[in-house]
Every structure is written in structure tokens, then in C-alpha cells.
Amino acid sequence: MEAIASPITDTQESIQTPVLINGSQALMKALIAEGVDTIFGYPGGAIMPVYDALYDYQEQINHILVRHEQGASHAAEGYARVSGRVGVCLATSGPGATNLVTGIADALIDSTPIVCLVGQVAKRLLGTDAFQEADIMGVTMPITKWNYQITSADEVPEIISKAFYIAKSGRPGPVLIDITKSAQLELMTQPFEYECCQSLVSYRPRLTPKKEQIEAAAKLINNAKRPYIFAGHGVQIAHAEQELIAFAEKTGIPVATTLLGQSTISTDHPLYVGWLGMHGNYGANVMTDEADVIIAIGMRFDDRVTGDASRYIKQAKIVHIEIDPSEIDKIIRADAPVVGDAKEALQALLPLVYANDHTVWRNEFRKFDTIEHDTITLPALTNPEGKIRMAEVIDTLSQKTKGEAILVTDVGQHQMMASRYYQFRRPNSLVTSGGMGTMGFALPAAFGAQVGAPDRDVVAIIGDGCFQMTIQELGTIVQNKQPVKIIILNNNFLGMVRQWQQLFHERRYSFVELQNPDFITIAKGFGMDGMTCDGRENLSGALDTMLAHEGPFLLEVIVEKEENVFPMVPAGATVSQIRLS
């Protein structure tokens, strides 16, 4: 601009009166101060000022346009889960905000740190049923760790710093910030200043466990004859994988994981005995009834793990290491509760526990492994007839990727098969919707995971039903050139529901058969390459093609229509009533 065009001597003026920015610009600066470099979002009327500000910050903040806000919240989850950072999503008011809800609920129950920023109608319109006004504060209150409505620009820095602090500290979880359009537009009355929140008066997660608690836990562990470790998602959230392994190796205690705890410890580690729960491993489940001390770390005794909780591990003393005090005694009474961060707790325990090897006890698990291998695994992997089995696909993928990929799964039989047959070698490699069991999770979450871990191979394992819940995110993947590999295990059924109908409802297959579209044509329509594999002899080649492909790739594998996932603990049964067929 020419000097004459601005009659006021700009420079002098700005030295005296600092430039005041509006709420949207403040939001950008706050996000940058929090180290945010990626946002998953979708614009609309009530968030337009923020999008306008974003236009100036494209260099610092990579905004990814999803195709549906549910995709944004799941992508933020996937991003958060693999990167260990906070996932951020942005949406407009009303329908934009309500579309985020499924991902928010999912993030709460799986302790995933995301911050959702949503637009809201102008302050003067609040509560008037204005266009695209939804009471998203009321809607998300029970499914957020914290939520807050910003109604003035001045609140932005403090509230955003609180939002990030709350989302990522203690037991991580989703935070929703509702920002009125007026707050986005109005100028701050103060110059922008930002300080990252470090603590809050009313919210003080305990990281360092109490000494007495550690000592009590160590005593129980040292006196145990048949101790058993359950490692949950909390171990990975705390980045305590090394500590867990050191602890297990020193004490010689076998380790099982929960579904979300999968990949915490390499599946070929001699102390690893499998995973727990409804479709977990035979030995891992049955042996819970034999242990005398159970050391539960960062897990919450979900009913999919315990079966009938009233008849669960009555014989054992429980050491429960958990950062969220409200989880202690919630389902299972702990004899030695340890409130604190898993990493700190394990570090504190390590010098207090005796070296041991528990060989006899550990070997007891192996006879169950043999049974499981002979009755389930081997037949699933070496069946020369019929259609391809899900197990074979996962097993072959596992070999070809050497167990080093990040697996993102959707919900259903394919999810359980992926968890069963993939041989995880690296930590933080299974991203799945555990607590909510949200169909439609995998495609956007895999995309988010690939953005969060650009150097790793990300493979999504998705059922034909689940895929159609968020199929439109193929467009996001293509537009952003993320090399996500997608495998659809197509059985033309809502397989998991069909399995239950078969086993518990006399094969009354009520509304579980799908008429599917041509997935490859759809992928191609979005600009993604893909192929179908319908024969066992082509499976290996198809997986090679997919893995060698540079960009994203969709591989559809036609699998056995009526395959079942075993072992299985029927709902309401005890874990030792686990069925092999």
C-alpha cells in the first residue's frame, strides 16, 4: 500500500496502541502456541470467521477438509492415538457440532485426547432457536471430559490453554469448546498473551503414586505364587511400554493385554500370553481364574473383559494401577490400589519387587495355547477349501508387514480377527474403537493415524458394513494424498451380529445381509486405486500389490460368508466358560 493511502502515521500509532485482534485470530494464535499443526474440520456459517482467520495461517496450520464431521472427530482420534498429541477438530454450529458427537463419545470412553472447536450462533441469539443453533453444551456434557462456551474474545487464550491441558493430562479425553460467532468476530480488549496451562485449582490428576500404595502393591506382588499382569491402554498412554517390560522381566510375571492394550508388548515376547476378553485368547482368559495376584495396569475391567463381573477373579488379590481414581473399585475391588501414572508407578515398583521367574506357573498357560492353536488357529489358517478366511488375510498381512504396521480396525468380526491374528511387533500399533465399538471409525481414524504417523505403514481393516458408514472419507484420503492402505473384508453380512444370531437366536438372520455396492468402482470414482481378491491363490499377490502401491489403495477381499470368531465368552458368562466352538 502507498504511504499516502494511509493518512495516519501507522508505525507511530501502533507503537502506542497495540494492535487488537479478534477472537478468531486469537484462536489461531492460541492453537499455534499449543503446537497444533493439523486440524480436521468442515466449515459453515457459525464458524466462518475462524475459517477466515485460518486462511492467513495456512503455512502454520494444515487444515484438512473431511467429508462429514464424524470423520473429523474420528480422524482427530486416530491422529491423537498414534502421535501422542492432541487431535483437533473444527466444525460449525448445529448439525456440524452434532455430527461430531459419535467421535466425542468414542474418545471419552477410549481416553483419547481431542479438542473440538465448534461455532455457535451470536451471543444475542443464544437460546432463541436461531438458525443452526443446537445446545451442543447440553448435548456433550455427559460425553466430554470438559466443555465450555466462549462468549467473548477475551476468553479465548485462557480457555484454549485450559482445553488442551485438560484434554491431555491425567486420564486423557475429549474437550469441546463452543465459540459464539460474536466472540469470533469481536476484538479483544487486551493485547493477545498466551500462557500454556499447567494446573488448575480444582483439577489435579495425581501422577506420582503414594509411597504407601506402592509398598503395599510390592508386598502383594512379592508374596504371590501365581501373579498375572493385565496391561491396558493406560500403559501406552503413559508411554510405559519399556517400564512394563522391565517390570515383567524382572519379576517373571506373564502379561496379557486388553484389546486396547494390544501391541504394548510384542506378541513374540516370552512373557506375553495373549489378550483378554470376549474374543481374546483361551489361556489368557482361563488363567485369570488361576492367578492369586492380578496386577491390572491402566485398564478398567470393562464388561467385555470380565464377563460376569460378580463371578470374576474372586480368588485373586488385585493390584490396580490407574490414573483415574474413579476407576478404582468401580467394577472390581482393589486390594492394593495405586493411583498414579503407569510409568511412574512401574518405575517406583521396580526396585521394590523381587526378581523371580515363575517358570512353572508360566508354563501352565502354554497348554491352553496348544489347544487354541490346534482347534482354532491352525484350521483357520490352513483351510484349503471354500472362500478365504479373515484369519488368513490378517496372517498374511502380518507376515508381509513383519508385524510393524499400524493396524486401524473398525468394529465387528474383522476387528477381532485383526487383533487375534496380527503379530504386533511395535508399540502403539492397534487403533480401534474399544469402549464404544463405533462402526465407521476405521476409515477416518486410519487417515488421521497416517497424518499423525507419516513414517509408518497404516493399514485399515474394515468390514463391508462399517465401510459404508463413513465411506465418503475416501475423498479426504485422496485429496490429501495419504498412502493409507484399506482392506475390506467383505462377507456380505453384518458379520458379528449374524454370528450372535446364529449362536444365540437360532439362526434367525434378522436384517444382517447387505446388498453391497461395487467398492472398487466407488474407490476409483474417488480417484483411489483398488482391486478385488476372490481367491486364495491371489491373496498374497494382492497384498503385495497393495503394499507396494505408492498412494492410498483399496483392497477388497471376498471372505467366507458365515465364519465365526472364536474363542468367545458368551455375554453374561464367566471368563472360564469361554467357548472354542
Give one DSSP letter per residue of 396-413, joined into a string: HHHHHTTT-SEEEE-SSH
Residue 317 annotated to the active site: no
**Nearest approach, Cβ of 166 to other proteins (angstroms)?**
6
Q: Are 456 and 525 in contact, with CB atoms under 8 Å apart?
A: no
Among other proteins, ligand TPP, none, partner that 84 touches (CB below 5 to 8 angstroms by kind): none
Nearer to other proteins, 45 or 325 (CB): 325
CA atoms of 542 and 344, how far apart (whole Å): 45
Region 494-533 residues binding ligand TPP, contact defined as CB under 6 A: 494-497
**Region of 55-63, 318-326, 482-490, 508-516 interacting with other proteins (CB under 8 A):** 318-326
**Region of 134-142, 261-269, 389-397, 421-429 interacting with other proteins (CB under 8 A):** 134-142
What φ, ψ does residue 365 adopt, rounded to 5°?
A: -65, -30
Q: Does 324 bind other proteins (CB under 8 A)?
A: yes
Kindly provide the residue ranges of all beta strands, DSSP E only, lying in 84-199, ordered along the sequence.
Answer: 87-91, 114-120, 146-150, 174-180
Q: Does 444 bind ligand TPP (CB under 6 A)?
A: no
Per-residue string for binding with other proteins, 152-191, x by CB under 8 A?
--------------x-------------------------
Describe the strand order of the beta sheet including 255-257 as a list of residue ranges.
272-275, 255-257, 227-231, 293-297, 317-322, 336-339
Nearer to other proteins, 75 or 345 (CB): 345
Q: Are 46 and 120 in contact, with CB atoms under 8 Å apart?
A: yes
Nearer to other proteins, 310 or 359 (CB): 310
Query: Inter-axis angle of helices 48-55 and 23-33, to 10 degrees?
Result: 60
Between vectors from CA 425 to CA 421 and to CA 427, what angle results, nearest 5°? 110
Given 439, 477, 539, 575, the residue binding ligand TPP (CB under 6 A): 439
CA atoms of 352 and 94, how far apart (whole Å): 54
- Catalytically annotated residue among 123, 132, 137, 364: 132
CA atoms of 162 and 164, how far apart (whole Å): 6
Q: Does 413 bind ligand TPP (CB under 6 A)?
A: yes
Among ligand TPP, other proteins, none, partner that 202 touches (CB below 5 to 8 angstroms by kind): other proteins
Per-residue string for binding with other proteins, 108-127, x by CB under 8 A?
--------------------
**DSSP code of residue 18:** P
**Nearest approach, Cβ of 432 to ligand TPP (angstroms)?**
12
Q: Does 260 bind ligand TPP (CB under 6 A)?
A: no
Given 30, 53, 313, 411, the residue binding ligand TPP (CB under 6 A): 411
Give the torsion through C-alpha atoms of 500, 501, 506, 509, to 10 deg: -160
Q: Which residues of 7-33 are buried (b: 16+ CB within 10 A; e: fewer)?
A: eeeeeeeeeeeeeebbbbbbbbbbbeb
What φ, ψ does residue 358 adopt, rounded to 5°?
A: 45, 40
**Region of 42-50, 270-278, 457-465, 479-487 interacting with ligand TPP (CB under 6 A):** 457-465
Among other proteins, ligand TPP, none, partner that 495 touches (CB below 5 to 8 angstroms by kind): ligand TPP
Place of cell 482347534: 375
Residue 486, C-beta contacts closer than 8 angstroms, at least 6 positions apart: 443, 446, 459, 460, 462, 530, 552, 553, 554, 555
**DSSP code of residue 389:** P
Among ligand TPP, other proteins, none, partner that 439 touches (CB below 5 to 8 angstroms by kind): ligand TPP
What φ, ψ does residue 542 adopt, rounded to 5°?
A: -65, -40
Region 161-200 residues binding ligand TPP, contact defined as CB under 6 A: none
Q: Does 138 bind other proteins (CB under 8 A)?
A: yes
Q: Does 304 bind ligand TPP (CB under 6 A)?
A: no
Among ligand TPP, other proteins, none, partner that 330 touches (CB below 5 to 8 angstroms by kind): other proteins
332: cell is 472390581
**Region of 228-236, 260-268, 368-376, 485-493 interacting with ligand TPP (CB under 6 A):** 485-493
Residue 181 annotated to the active site: yes
Q: Does 351 bind other proteins (CB under 8 A)?
A: no
CA atoms of 184 and 156, how far apart (whole Å): 9
Q: Does 16 bind other proteins (CB under 8 A)?
A: no
- Catalytically annotated residue among 181, 317, 343, 485: 181
Q: Does 45 bind other proteins (CB under 8 A)?
A: no
Among ligand TPP, other proteins, none, partner that 324 touches (CB below 5 to 8 angstroms by kind): other proteins
**Nearest approach, Cβ of 488 to other proteins (angstroms)?**
37
**Phi/psi-derived region of residue 82, left when phi > 0, alpha when psi is between -120 and 50, beta in every other case:** alpha
HSE of 182, CA atoms in CB hemisphere, 13 A: 10
Residue 382 burial by Cβ neighbours in a 10 Å radius (0-12, 13-18, 19+): exposed
Given 201, 355, 360, 548, the residue binding other proteins (CB under 8 A): 201
Residue 439 annotated to the active site: no
- Catalytically annotated residue among 287, 439, 496, 568: 496
**Nearest approach, Cβ of 142 to other proteins (angstroms)?**
5
- Catalytically annotated residue among 69, 322, 327, 563: 69
- The answer to whether the Cα torsion of 332, 337, 339, 343 is positive or negative is negative
CA atoms of 559 and 557, how far apart (whole Å): 6
Nearer to ligand TPP, 313 or 407 (CB): 407
**Which residues of this chain interact with other proteins, rule CB under 8 A?**
137-138, 141-142, 145-147, 149, 166, 200-203, 324-326, 328-330
Enzyme catalytic residues? 69, 131-132, 181, 496
**Which residues of this chain interact with ligand TPP, rule CB under 6 A?**
410-414, 437-439, 463-466, 489, 491, 493-497
